[in-house]
Amino acid sequence: MNDRQIDEARSFLAAWPDTRAVELLLPDLNGILRGKRIGRRELLSLWRDGIAFPATGILLDSRGALIDGLRYGSDDGDPDYVCRPVPGSLVPVPWAKTHPGQCLVAVEHRDGQPFFADGRHVLAAVVNRFAALGLAPVVAVEFEFYLLDDTSGEVPRARQGRVPGTQRRPSGPRVYSLEDLHDLDPLFSEITAACETQRIPAGSIVSEYGAGQFEVNLHHVADAVAACDHAILLRRLIRGVARKHGLAATFMAKPFADIDGSGMHVHLSLVDRDGRNAFAPQPPVSAPEGYAQTLRHAVGGLLAALPESLAIFAPNANSYRRIRPGCFAPIAPNWGVNHRHVAVRIPVSDDQNLRLEHRVAGADCNPYLAMAAILAGVHAGLSRGIEPPRMIREGEVMKEAISLSPRWESALDAFDAGTLLPEYLGAEFCRVFSLARRHEAEAFHAQVSNLDYEWYLGTI
């Protein structure tokens, strides 16, 4: 660790003299932040030496339970690895009463080699492959989420705006409602301010199609790993500020059966060494659909990789409730221009800003792994010259037939049968990811839910 990096810790301590503790944030396999708190005095030693942490900090299920069958954390005695701070991530937590700091950490072996299951390292290895092509990804993330104002019952209730001057709830989804934003102005103003304090490049906030559903957009950045840092910290920030305002925020993919689910949309372009958009058409354009070969091959790779990638984009049981017709969520490996029913959308833009929007991942995904799977598909498409299927035209009415897996186990079967992701994410990572997700699937389906009683208790 060099002096410049240690200076980040020294500068933080000087700027925030009342901060007594710093929360170390370690994203696990599911994109859930685990970690520990350290005291103010320990911050400089964290920067110099790192801090010991077991592999089980990453290899947990969604409940925080150990995963049966992994030698990491069970058969091997759960040894400590080294967690090191992510440069630039040490910031205050303005919504917390005691004003702690927070810092992302990444896991390494004691010799400095990356730990294979740390999502930051998995993504960084995929990003590094683009250098040989003379290209670099530029990405932005959009998150949809629901606010809840009643979690006291068995089923939570989405927070809906009120008719001004009354407690009456208006009917309808109220998509793009400015009144709902005005109603929550203190909350969203604090989210914006907290993003500025934590250097998270948030942009617009809109009221989405589901009542109580909102979307926050992050700005494009030329560092895909940093973009995912921003994304995972934005989820924490929104949940924290919502709690302060007496609400709950959820990034579940499908928290309610009768209204739309929540996605994580990724906007992606590629720039060459001169900073030019590689997706922009180069005259004369004679290629199919009028798009540059680079863009078409990127789309072709994305769609070819989609069946085996779905288990990453939809990582838990609830994720698959979103994959159904009529919910503005992709249900087939297709692409189109200015069309929100497709898996890969080409938004309307000029050549300089021409990009892809990947719409498959749920808001519940691990951003690092989802981005790694997306970029793996793009890189494979470019390096192998994969042509996409026919493009869906703007305004085209599509036959809504599900060809992506609507069930968790079949998505995991496709993941296990895949050949592309093991090449890019690592064979051992893919083996462990599948085992971990199957462990959780078995535990989930072994439970007896209220629906069992509602459907069968009175008749069987």
317 and 368 together in one domain = yes
Q: What is the pLDDT of residue 145?
A: 92
79 and 142 together in one domain = no
CA–CA separation, 460 and 458 (whole Å) = 6
Residue-range definition of the domain harbouring residue 86: 3-114
297 and 172 together in one domain = yes
261 and 328 together in one domain = yes
pTM: 0.92
Q: Which regions of 169-252 does DSSP assign to beta strands (E)? A: 202-207, 213-218, 248-250
With respect to residue 81, please indicate whether it lies within any of the assigned structural domains.
Answer: yes
159 and 21 together in one domain = no
Name the nearest CA neighbour of 314 among 249, 411, 381, 240. Answer: 411
Q: What is the pLDDT of residue 361?
A: 95
236 and 155 together in one domain = yes
Q: What is the residue-averaged pLDDT of the chain?
A: 88
194 and 293 together in one domain = yes
Angle at 40 between CA 34 and CA 46, to 5 degrees: 60
| DSSP string over 392-438 | BPTTPPPP----S-SSHHHHHHHHHH-SHHHHHH-HHHHHHHHHHHH
Name the band, by pLDDT with cuts 50, 70 and 90, for residue 23.
Answer: very high
| Burial zone of 387 (CB within 10 Å; 0-12 exposed, 13-18 middle, 19+ buried) | middle
403 and 280 together in one domain = yes
With respect to residue 93, please indicate whether it lies within any of the assigned structural domains.
Answer: yes
Q: Looking at residues 368-378, what average pLDDT do you find?
A: 98
Q: Looking at residues 347-375, what average pLDDT do you find?
A: 93
Q: What is the pLDDT of residue 381?
A: 97
With respect to residue 460, please indicate whether it lies within any of the assigned structural domains.
Answer: no
Q: What is the pLDDT of residue 242?
A: 93
Which range has the worst mean pLDDT, 95-99, 231-235, 398-402?
Answer: 398-402
pLDDT per residue as tens digits for the range 273-300: 999 999 987 654 444 467 889 999 999 9
Strands 344-346 and 335-337: parallel
Q: What is the CATH number of the domain that holds 54?
A: 3.10.20.70
pLDDT per residue as tens digits for the range 44-73: 999 999 999 888 889 999 998 888 888 776
With respect to residue 452, please indicate whether it lies within any of the assigned structural domains.
Answer: no
The enclosing H or E element of 34 equals strand 33-39
| DSSP string over 73-87 | IIIT---EEEEEEPT
Tally the residues of the chain. 460
Q: What is the pLDDT of residue 96?
A: 94
Q: What is the pLDDT of residue 337?
A: 87
34 and 139 together in one domain = no
Q: What is the DSSP letter of 94?
A: T
With respect to residue 445, please indicate whether it lies within any of the assigned structural domains.
Answer: no
- The domain boundary, picked from 114, 147, 166, lies at 114
pLDDT per residue as tens digits for the range 151-195: 666 677 777 666 555 556 656 555 555 566 667 888 889 999 999
36 and 153 together in one domain = no
- The domain boundary, picked from 114, 148, 167, lies at 114
With respect to residue 450, please indicate whether it lies within any of the assigned structural domains.
Answer: no
Q: Looking at residues 300-319, what average pLDDT do you find?
A: 95
- Looking at the predicted structure, is the pLDDT value of residue 456 above 50? yes
pLDDT per residue as tens digits for the range 412-443: 999 999 999 999 999 999 999 999 999 999 99
335 and 186 together in one domain = yes
Q: What is the pLDDT of residue 258?
A: 81
With respect to residue 155, please indicate whether it lies within any of the assigned structural domains.
Answer: yes
Q: What is the CATH number of the domain that holds 364?
A: 3.30.590.10
- C-alpha distances (whole Å) from 311 to each of 300, 370, 413, 418 are 19, 10, 9, 11
CA–CA separation, 379 and 278 (whole Å) = 13
With respect to residue 38, please indicate whether it lies within any of the assigned structural domains.
Answer: yes
Structure tokens at 199: 């250097």
157 and 254 together in one domain = yes
pLDDT per residue as tens digits for the range 232-254: 999 999 999 999 999 999 999 99
Residue type, 411: A
Q: What is the pLDDT of residue 226?
A: 97
Q: How many domains does one find in the chain?
A: 2
